[in-house]
C-alpha cells in the first residue's frame, strides 16, 4: 500500500507494508528531491522537496488486522520526524537543506521530538 500526502505543496510518499521476499528490518526516509533554488524550473522559486517513507510493517492477512507493536509506533513517529524536517525546510541551498549537510544532532532532533509523543499522554 502506497500513500501520497501533499503537505504545503511538497510531496510525501509513504510505503507502509513490507513485500515479504524483500523485507528488511527497520524503516527509513529517503529524499527524492531536496529543496533547492539551483534546481528550480523558473530560477525564482526553490524546487520543493519530495520524500519517501518506507515503514516495512506487516500487512494484514485476511480478516486479521495489522497491529503495531509499541516499538513500531515509535519508529513510525521517528521516521515521520525526519520526513517533516526534509519537507518543511526553508533553506534554498540543496546541499544544506532538510537533513543534508547538517550535524547529526540536528538531523535527529525532529525525529526524537516526534518520538516523545509516544511516551507521554
Select the more confidently predicted residue: 110 or 43.
Answer: 110
Annotated catalytic residue 79: yes
| Residue-range domain boundaries for the chain | 2-119
Rg (CA), the chain: 16
CATH 3.40.390.10 holds for 2-119: yes
Q: Which of 24, 71, 72, 79 is catalytic?
A: 79
Residue 28's pLDDT is 81
pLDDT, tens digit (0-9, with 9 covering 90-100), for 3-29:
555 555 667 777 788 766 665 677 888
Whole-number pLDDT of residue 74:
92
Parallel/antiparallel/unpaired status of strands 50-57 and 10-17: parallel
Residue 1: is its pLDDT beyond 60? Answer: no
Distance of CA 77 to the CA centre of its chain: 9
Is 107 a residue whose pLDDT tops 90? no
**pLDDT tens sequence across 26-81:** 788 877 777 766 666 666 667 777 788 888 888 888 999 988 889 989 998 998 88
What pLDDT score was predicted for residue 115? 92
Amino acid at each position: 500500500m502506497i500513500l501520497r500526502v501533499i503537505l504545503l505543496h511538497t510531496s510525501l510518499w509513504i510505503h507502509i507494508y513490507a513485500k515479504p521476499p524483500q523485507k528488511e528490518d527497520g524503516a527509513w526516509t529517503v529524499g527524492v528531491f531536496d529543496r533547492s533554488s539551483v534546481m528550480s524550473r523558473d530560477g525564482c522559486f526553490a524546487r520543493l522537496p519530495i520524500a519517501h517513507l518506507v515503514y516495512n510493517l506487516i500487512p494484514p492477512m485476511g480478516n486479521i488486522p495489522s497491529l503495531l507493536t509499541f516499538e513500531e509506533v515509535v519508529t513510525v513517529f521517528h521516521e515521520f520526524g525526519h520526513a517533516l524536517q526534509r519537507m518543511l525546510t526553508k533553506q534554498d541551498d540543496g546541499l544544506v537543506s532538510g537533513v543534508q549537510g547538517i550535524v547529526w544532532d540536528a538531523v535527529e532532533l525532529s525525529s526524537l521530538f516526534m518520538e516523545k509523543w509516544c511516551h507521554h499522554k
